[in-house]
Structure 1
Amino acid sequence: MSTAHHPFWPKGMPSTLTLPDVTLWDNLATAAARYPERPAVVFYGASLSYARLAREADLLAGYLQYHCGVTRGERVILLSQNCPQFFIAYYAIVRLGAVVVPVNAMSTSQELAYFVEDSGARVGLLAQEMYERARPLLDDGRLAHLVVHTYSDYAGRPLSAEVPGWVALPRQPINDPSVTFLADALAAGRPAVPERFGPEQMSILPYTSGTTGHPKGCVHTHRSVMAAVAGSAVWRGLHSESVFFSVAPLFHLLGMQNGMNLPVFLGATVIMLPRWDESLAAALIERYRVSMWSATPAMLVDFFSNPVVRERDLSSLTLLAGGGAAMPEAISKMLREQYQIDFNEAYGLTETAAFLHANPVQRGKPQCLGMPTFGVESRVIDPDTLEELPPGEVGELITCGEQVMVGYWNNPTANEESFLIRDGKRFFRTGDLVSVDEEGYFFMRDRLKRMISVSGYKVWPAEVESLFYHHPQVQEACIVSVPDRRSGEAVKAVLVMKPGATHDEADIIAWARSKMAVYKAPRFVEFRSSLPRSATGKIQWREVQDEQQLTHVAEAGVSGD
């Protein structure tokens, strides 16, 4: 499906982009030179200008270089909720040609340990409330140094009632010689003198899970990240005067690209919230005249369902964009009729630095993945024979483009399984089952890989099942998804307990939340005496999953939903 010959390609758009031959740090340096006093980030009433952002990122880079020994290519953990310090830390790391390893802020100590060990990181930048999770890694030597930041240092003064208590918390003393507070690192006052590197240098190593249950690092360069950022800017007509709303987590590619890298590329302003609060979000959009917001459909459904939102002036909102799940048609219709906004549905993966497919802004289709964007070529193949399929048939989506990752970190087996060569081009196998309509628009049909999407976060059942087998009373576990209005899908555990074990759903859920990130932990538990198995003894998860879908439909029919 070549974009150059797509019948509904946006008028006036090129089929490919000439990407800036620069790094992510160059984007920030350029924005600081062009718009030094413009707010880069507004956080609870406090503004961080582009000049200050670039200066502090450079000083932190210098500290990492001279006091922590961070060099080009070295991986550095970044663990934090959304805040201006996330921007500073991220750009300090890429300033050195080092590699950002963004870790989900909900990760447990055990999950953090895996990311540290797999990436080989020895330095971490993190928020102070996450120190206790990282401390065991300092104690046993897996981490050598931590730079800790405090959210309240960059919030407005005096702190208003809008600021939640956990953000307003002042800096807490940490008596650990391996820990430096961000303020002290900046006070060292030594700018970086980085090694030379270009756009092909590795820039970020975000992790995505696989069907084996082990998270895999996605190797991205400055160029692959830039391809997605520049493509999104041109496709959606964004510019330096756009005002972005950022609440999607920055450790996730949706938030990282649309709530940080894209506005920095443009020199635009970001209005930021660290956690979701629909009433405050509406107030901030009105107060700062936000024009662009990328969010998951679940977040937007929650937002526009709140009666408080209707009392706010949202006329500045020009574009809503997102992916991760289909936007309900009723919400899309409401946005068009009440707010004159078309939700720009798109499709991307951690492996593609987010932006890959998108609907034309002026000619989108509901619940659609859109079409391949600039320079992207996507095809549909039979996942077994690998033969290309004609329009209308369901098959696996494979894709190639400059935003596609180099490969999985230190995982040749996964790379061999995930890439194939067609017509001299290297295509990535997405594992998503799609079809293409007669006009060349792609639609999601199913998942070849076994994955659950909770508000855009990937949950891999095999990973959760493996954790459940550590529960002393669980004999067998099957993790499936159930539909959920707020999050799109929710996680459900179907369990067979050991003889004599107790059957308490609340205790099981509480145990799960202590062992894994909250979004991975099941919200529902069902106890059974046995699970269906194949002739070879494998649990038939698909059969269990299909039963859940039928049960949901039946219950919805009875309740009148």
Structure 2
Amino acid sequence: MNQATSTHVVSTDDRPYARVWPARVPRAIQPPQTSLWFNLEVSARRYPSKPATVFFDHVMTYPQLLQQAERVAAWLAAHGVQRGDRVILYLQNCPQFIVAYYAILRANAVVVPVNPMNKTEELGHYITDPQARVAIAAADLAPALCAADAALPPEQRLKHLLVLHYRDAMPADAFEGDAVPAAWRDWLATRHPLPALTRGRVADWADALACTDPLPPHTVGPDDLAVLPYTSGTTGLPKGCMHPHRTLMHNAVAAAVWANGTAENVGLLVVPMFHITGMVAGMHTSVYLGATAVIMPRWDRDLAGRLISRWRVTHWTNIPTMVIDLLASPHFDQYDLSSLVFIGGGGAAMPAAVAQRLFEQFGLRYVEGYGLTETAAPSHHNPPDRPQPQCLGVPFIGCDARIVDPETLQELPVGETGEIVVSGPMVFDGYWQRPQATAAVFFERRGRRYFRTGDLGRMDEQGYFYITDRLKRMINASGFKVWPAEVEALMYRHPAIAEVCVIGVPDAYRGETVKAVVVLRDSARGTVGEADLIAWCHEHMAAYKAPRIVQFVDALPKSGSGKVMWRLLQEAERAAAGATA
């Protein structure tokens, strides 16, 4: 039986999944009791010439990554960033993302990662809610952030904005061959002028790298807040998830242990680093190991195929739609995937036929996992050598998971459906400045604090967990979580909409897609169509949130109390899809 090393650790020998637990993997670990920054410092000293990142074949070594992060940290400190301050990070995957992220940590501050797909109307909340006064943004995204900032009260606006270009991390000849997809050339090659803040100052990334100010002492530790990733909910207002260094450190180390990671890993880092999976299982695990991250700013199937072949990628965490897309490429026979030893991911179930093709053609078992922003990525994962198809896996290293009755919170027997609850060192501390929301998702049982995931599932006799439904009203579109209340709140700004209800509908490729059921104002009937509303939504919200289907109705179904009966619409849609299938 394991020795408990902290109040979080629980023996799992009495749980069903003890019988399928990988023999080489410990049930619990004791991660480093430091800030995440020290992982970069250690790897830079251990591997003075090793590639930390590859970006369109441009290599940045670990010492170069460290040196740049230190200079940006000095710039942040010189511009007033102090311990515990929140700093916005608003850009796509690129080496500068890692530099900026670790620079914020080195300055004793807190990273606020923002989805680069968000539009101006969505961005103001990410400035006001964490009380951020400094932001780091890509040049193509910075104008939207400045526009959102200008709409805020003067006392809530940004004081400093640091702007970077992706091309500055690319080789000089990047655009001469076919290394950059044609559709990306203008996006990556264009050099944008610096935007303006109404009350703050804007600086270029080069200025920060050239900063000669001294570094402040590094004073934060495991229990200090490290990152504030936002997740939405039934209210529609995104909530900041408070993750100290220790929660991310645990899962970064545990992910390395689970996948047999070493410094020789070469990972394809294409899942977004603003998202908890790319952040922890991609970036932090790679830096902890001293491994190499081959970075893609966005998904492109043929670029992925070339990079896996060129850099002999060994580990690839993804969402299933990426694998489906790559296998469907007309150029697929030109790519060499023989270097891959681990492929897996989550966000949606991998179709059985695709998983079978991976195994038959490459000997690769697709390893699915499950986790939330609140659990620092995985709370469950399939054993790499014994994965079950379309399954969440078993509780992750150090995690205790149960199936409980959603009403009574009493544990249910094996095979019965209930709410999945988890406890362990990866679980966040709570929602930023929302004590009531925090209290609603936690309960205590036998001295342990359990987090209510809001997902319904069951556990089989071997201890594998399966998801069956959701308690929370959420749409899962290709792994992106879409919260209907947030989409509805944005759509109500359209002058033609009287009422709207957003639901998820089955989609063969995305798993689910977003549908809006709309009641138009009398003055708009016959003049506003489906294409008009879809186009408007793409202008005012992130693309993955925007409805792909709009249905016009005369009235929405409502309960006796006047509440829109969204579940009735949802169930009718699923029934129709099932009948069609």
TM-score, normalised with respect to structure 2: 0.93
SS at match of 2:158: coil
How far the C-alpha of 1:474 sits from its partner, in A, is 1.3
Change in 2 beyond 3 A, CA 1:329/1:159: same
61, 64, 74: which is aligned to 1:62?
A: 74
SS at match of 2:331: helix
User: Counterpart of 1:115?
Assistant: 126
User: Counterpart of 1:371?
Assistant: 394
1:136 and 2:157 correspond: no
User: Counterpart amino acid of 2:12?
Assistant: T
User: Counterpart amino acid of 2:573?
Assistant: Q
SS at match of 2:368: strand
User: Counterpart of 2:216?
Assistant: 193
Contact 2:350 2:390 in 1 (8 A): yes
User: Counterpart amino acid of 1:308?
Assistant: H
Quick one: distance in 2 between partners of 1:527 and 1:174?
A: 40
Quick one: distance in 2 between partners of 1:38 and 1:169?
A: 30
User: Counterpart of 1:396?
Assistant: 419
Contact 1:61 1:191 in 2 (8 A): no
Quick one: distance in 2 between partners of 1:321 and 1:189?
A: 43
1:463 and 2:480 correspond: no
User: Counterpart of 1:541?
Assistant: 566
How far the C-alpha of 1:35 sits from its partner, in A, is 0.7
Change in 2 beyond 3 A, CA 1:393/1:351: same
1:145 and 2:145 correspond: no
User: Counterpart of 2:383?
Assistant: 360
Change in 2 beyond 3 A, CA 1:173/1:136: closer
Contact 1:244 1:291 in 2 (8 A): yes
User: Counterpart of 1:84?
Assistant: 95
136, 147, 156: which is aligned to 2:171?
A: 156
Quick one: distance in 2 between partners of 1:113 and 1:470?
A: 16
Contact 2:225 2:243 in 1 (8 A): yes
User: Counterpart amino acid of 1:454?
Assistant: A
How far the C-alpha of 1:503 sits from its partner, in A, is 4.2
Quick one: distance in 2 between partners of 1:248 and 1:303?
A: 14
Quick one: distance in 1 between partners of 2:333 and 2:473?
A: 39
49, 52, 64: which is aligned to 1:40?
A: 52
How far the C-alpha of 1:174 sits from its partner, in A, is 4.6
Quick one: distance in 2 between partners of 1:379 and 1:126?
A: 40
Contact 1:148 1:181 in 2 (8 A): yes
Judge which range, 469-478 or 361-370, deviates more. Answer: 469-478
User: Counterpart of 1:512?
Assistant: 537
Quick one: distance in 2 between partners of 1:472 and 1:424?
A: 52
Change in 2 beyond 3 A, CA 1:301/1:535: same
SS at match of 1:396: strand
User: Counterpart of 1:106?
Assistant: 117
Change in 2 beyond 3 A, CA 1:540/1:48: same
User: Counterpart amino acid of 2:564?
Assistant: I
15, 20, 38: which is aligned to 2:32?
A: 20
User: Counterpart of 2:62?
Assistant: 50
User: Counterpart of 2:499?
Assistant: 476
Quick one: distance in 1 between partners of 2:196 and 2:421?
A: 51
Quick one: distance in 1 between partners of 2:195 and 2:225?
A: 33
What do residues 337-374 of structure 1 show as CA deviations (whole Å, max 9, x unaligned)?
01110111111100011021111111110000111122
Quick one: distance in 2 between partners of 1:137 and 1:432?
A: 34
Contact 1:46 1:157 in 2 (8 A): no
Quick one: distance in 2 between partners of 1:175 and 1:399?
A: 45
Contact 1:121 1:143 in 2 (8 A): yes
Quick one: distance in 1 between partners of 2:466 and 2:485?
A: 26
Name the count of aligned residue pairs: 555
User: Counterpart amino acid of 2:85?
Assistant: E
Judge which range, 441-450 or 486-495, deviates more. Answer: 486-495
Alignment of 1:147-296 (within 5 A): 147-160=162-175, 161-163=178-180, 164-165=184-185, 166-170=187-191, 172-174=193-195, 178-296=201-319
Quick one: distance in 2 between partners of 1:148 and 1:23?
A: 26
User: Counterpart of 1:559?
Assistant: none
SS at match of 1:129: coil
How far the C-alpha of 1:93 sits from its partner, in A, is 0.3
Contact 1:364 1:370 in 2 (8 A): yes
Change in 2 beyond 3 A, CA 1:429/1:38: same
RMSD between aligned alpha carbons? 1.5
Quick one: distance in 2 between partners of 1:171 and 1:47?
A: 24
Quick one: distance in 2 between partners of 1:414 and 1:279?
A: 43
Quick one: distance in 2 between partners of 1:62 and 1:424?
A: 43
Contact 1:40 1:267 in 2 (8 A): yes
How far the C-alpha of 1:249 sits from its partner, in A, is 1.2
Quick one: distance in 2 between partners of 1:365 and 1:285?
A: 25
User: Counterpart amino acid of 2:173?
Assistant: P
Quick one: distance in 2 between partners of 1:254 and 1:131?
A: 24
Judge which range, 504-513 or 3-12, deviates more. Answer: 3-12
Alignment of 1:343-492 (within 5 A): 343-492=366-515
Judge which range, 199-208 or 252-261, deviates more. Answer: 252-261
User: Counterpart amino acid of 1:134?
Assistant: L
Judge which range, 155-164 or 143-152, deviates more. Answer: 155-164
Flag structure 2 segments of 5+ consecutive residues without an equivalent: 1-9
1:550 and 2:575 correspond: yes
321, 340, 345: which is aligned to 1:317?
A: 340
Quick one: distance in 1 between partners of 2:193 and 2:473?
A: 42
Change in 2 beyond 3 A, CA 1:11/1:57: same
SS at match of 1:4: coil
User: Counterpart amino acid of 2:25?
Assistant: M
1:3 and 2:12 correspond: yes
Change in 2 beyond 3 A, CA 1:276/1:23: same
Change in 2 beyond 3 A, CA 1:359/1:260: same
User: Counterpart amino acid of 1:70?
Assistant: V
